[in-house]
Structure 1
Amino acid sequence: MLTEKQIRALKPAEKEFTVSDGRSARGEGVLMLRVRPNGTKEFYFQRRQADRKIKTKLGTWPSLSLTEARDRCREEKEVRLSVGTFGDLIDAYAAKLKVEGAASAKHVEWSFKHYVSEPFPNLVTRPAVMIGPAEIRDILAKMIANGVTTQTNRLRSRLHAAFQFAMRQEYNPRSYLKDDVRFGLHSNPVASIPVQADWEQPGDRALSVKELATLWNLLPEHLSITTAELLKFLIAAGGQRPEQLLQSERTLYQADHFTIRSKKGVEGERTLHVVPLNKLMKESLKVMDAISETSAYPFQGKVEGQPLNVQSLSRAVTKLYGRHTDKFDAPFTLRDLRRTCKTLMGLAGLDKQLRDRIQGHAFNDVSAKHYDRYDYFKEKKRGLDRWASWLEKNVIGPKS
């Protein structure tokens, strides 16, 4: 067994090496001391699981004494370890979203990689059961220290969902025996981490009629044809979610409507959202057909076979405002256009329930969720036609 004197006497070598604190019972794990070429000496708890070794850093000598390291090692041994690591857990959740076609799948995968896996490579190799509130706090604290605000809450929410997913899978009596990877979770470590409420202020910016008219008439001259026509289409369609609309292939566009595969909501609740076409929407599609009638998506981006990127669209709107700040009452973003359409459709005479149906909002009352199977196509068609006529009279006609 190691002694403080032996540790002090260990000299660094050209390559790092490790020294064991002695043997232990098979599967229990052992305390290791790693000596790096620069002379740093680190304590690790190491145990073998299946065909791989899992190491957990305990601290650096002499800040952490040998006695303290052994105490921490015993604590680690008391934890009932499972095969599944923290990295396995977040990967499994991201894969689940991707298989389901969730709208957030790519964002979740990117945030896990950018804020968890890359900055905390040692953490993701630890068994998920050994991840506690302190580890989650450290991940979020690093984001905050780097000036990240609302995305910190987003990552907290995604990590919470990932742990909940793992617990549901593990404690579901119908699926438990089917899972190859077990996590051994007893609770969700994210649950005790507070949401930073002051970073969750809901948006309230909606363009006035005059501002929307200004924007509409700026589009043809100040943006690319595809971007300009897409924004016109989104407005004429009553403010559909751009990220969902862009994922609708050309095959989902028919003579009198197009279909959005709604990817919002939880598994089993995602639906098809049918949007009737009005004359303004058809005009935009005609312009895009003149560019290409065979592209996989009506609003194709620079990459063949791929739709325009929603982030590019968002940046285009922000830059357009930046070039014409004197023409608008306040800054606005792509997300504000959906709120603008919802607000101004009310001014055009569409009641709230019809506006909700046009924008594809979910109706979660018992009647709507389980019994109402009427598609409301005719009502949405009349509403969008009325909206198009209102736009022609109040937005497209007047010149700012």
Structure 2
Amino acid sequence: MLTEKQILSLKPQDNDYVISDGRTARGEGVLLLKVRPNGTKEFYFQRHVNGKKRLTKLGAWPSMKLTQARDKCRAEKEVIASVGTFQELINAYVGKLEARGAATAEDVKWSLKHYVSEPFPGLVAKPVSLIGPMHIRDIIARMIDNGVTTYCNRVRSQLHAAFQMGLEQEYNPRSYLENKVQFGLLSNPVASVPVQADWEKAGDRALSPKELSTLWNLLPEQLSLVTSELIRFLIAAGGQRPEQLLASERKLYQPDHLVIHSKKGVEGERTLHVVPLNKLMRHSLKVMNQVSSTSAYPFEGNIPGQSLNANSLSRAVSKLYSRHKDKFDGPFTLRDLRRTCKTLMGVAGLDKSLRDRIQGHAFSDVSSKHYDRYDYFKEKQKGLQRWALWLQHNVIEGE
């Protein structure tokens, strides 16, 4: 791509010559700089119309800066762009996930709104065919500037999937004419933006009993009541997946158990995960019932009728650590709590097979997958009761 320094260094020749500002997707058009024999340097927007090149003069350098020329070039592109906007692509992708009942639907909806639509309202209003790698780069760069690390890769992945869906929609001969919105995509701009690989290391952090005790006893003073009780409930439940638990409506909470709709895997293979209630879990639910016994979700967020958002919960845990670094052996996240429970349930005497069943892991051996229909409710119930007693003695009363 051109730079101001490069333009300054270009020398006139006997005839006109042209320098391109980099390649773009076929059909989008390109910004050119034409250098005249007299030293004049002019910006042009070139595109093909009916197989012929058409040049539109934008202005002369240096009175028109390179950034201004690029802005005018993008404005020219909009004249011939498809009408489908970036926001419509995002909406279509989220709608597809919701229709499939994907486990990630709510998370994707929240993150694309929080990190893309709200901070870049002008960008998402543009025709999506005009979105290039530099726009995706700016979205991710803003997240990094705000201190977001691993999750910036998640947003990149979500955007890549959204554009890929748009491309498949555009070129599927069976469904193309059925789509009301045309995006005019020719390539996936996210593909040119690299993943931040050093933030993708597999986690191995597990809190010690002393650290877990510190966290448990910090909660009521440092976080909201709903957030505090939810974290305690997740711990008492053996480290359930927050997203799945939060998606479980109040009607799925029975007197002695909770039913979680596991949305892992493809549609048709998803299962019901039954989690027996122990004393500590019942206490958290009792506290939530005192707040509201009629809400759609036991752990309701600020918006009536909606559960607390898993991303909000994750940020709350990270902020709590940042305020009390001296009380812990090192950084930890919401995801580390599931690993902590898995590890400490072993310390409490629960064997690995039972811990896997409590956490809802899938068993892929032939016997478990196709023949074993036993629900292991009694075993899980005894295991979680034992876990609650261990927490009572080693965590709650351990400070």
CA distance in 1, matches of 2:83, 2:260: 40
1:62–1:388: structure 2 CA closer, same or farther, 3 Å change rule? same
Instruction: Label 1:241 to 1:61 Cα distance change in 2 as closer, same or farther (>3 A).
Output: same
Q: How many residues of Structure 1 are paired with residues of Structure 2 in the alignment? A: 346
Alpha carbons of structure 1 residues 361 and 47: separation in structure 2 relative to 1, 3 Å: farther
Question: In the aligned structure 2, how far is the partner of 1:316 from the partner of 1:134?
Answer: 31
2:254 aligned with 1:236, yes or no? no
Answer yes or no: is 1:261 the counterpart of 2:265. Answer: no
1:240 Cα deviation from its structure 2 partner: 1.3
Distance 1:210 1:288 in 2: 27
Deviations 1:54-96, CA, capped at 9 Å, x for gaps: xxxx99522489xx99xx99x989xx97664544323311222
**Alignment deviations for residues 97-123 of structure 1 (CA, whole Å, 9 cap, x no partner):** 344454543443454455555548367
SS in 2 for 1:387: helix
CA distance in 2, matches of 1:113, 1:271: 29
Q: Determine whether 1:399 maps to 2:398.
A: yes
Mapped pair 1:61 → 2:62: no
The answer to whether the 8 A contact 1:217-1:399 is kept is: no
The alignment's TM-score, normalised by the length of structure 1, stands at: 0.68
Cα 1:165–1:351 shift into 2, 3 Å: farther
What 5-or-longer segments of structure 2 have no aligned partner? 1-26, 31-41, 50-55
Shift of 1:158: 0.9
Task: For 1:329 and 1:269, locate their aligned partners in 2 and report how far apart those are by CA, in whole Å.
Answer: 40
1:224 shift after superposition = 5.0
Say whether the 8 Å CA contact 1:299–1:308 is kept in structure 2: yes
1:125 matched to 2:126? The reply is yes
Instruction: Give the letter aligned to residue 122 of structure 2.
Output: P
Hey, what does 1:150 align to over in structure 2?
Answer: 150
Q: Tell which deviates more after alignment, 273-282 or 357-366.
A: 357-366
Q: What amino acid is the match of 1:95?
A: G
- Counting only pairs closer than 5 Å after superposition, residues 126-275 of structure 1 correspond to structure 2 as 126=127, 128=129, 133=133, 136-137=136-137, 139-140=139-140, 148-170=148-170, 175-183=175-183, 188-219=188-219, 225-265=225-265, 270-275=270-275
CA distance in 2, matches of 1:179, 1:359: 41
Deviations 1:229-284 (A, max 9, x none): 33222111001122332332211111221122334555555543221112221232
Deviation for aligned residue 1:344: 0.7
| Bigger mean CA offset, 383-392 vs 370-379 | 370-379
Identity of aligned residues (%): 66
**TM-score, normalisation: structure 2:** 0.68
What's the RMSD between the two structures over aligned residues?
4.4
Deviation per CA, 1:169-194, whole angstroms, max 9, x where unpaired? 45556644533334465654433443
Structure 1 partner of 2:293: 293
Q: In 2 relative to 1, CA 329–81 (structure 1 residues): closer, same or farther, beyond 3 Å?
A: closer
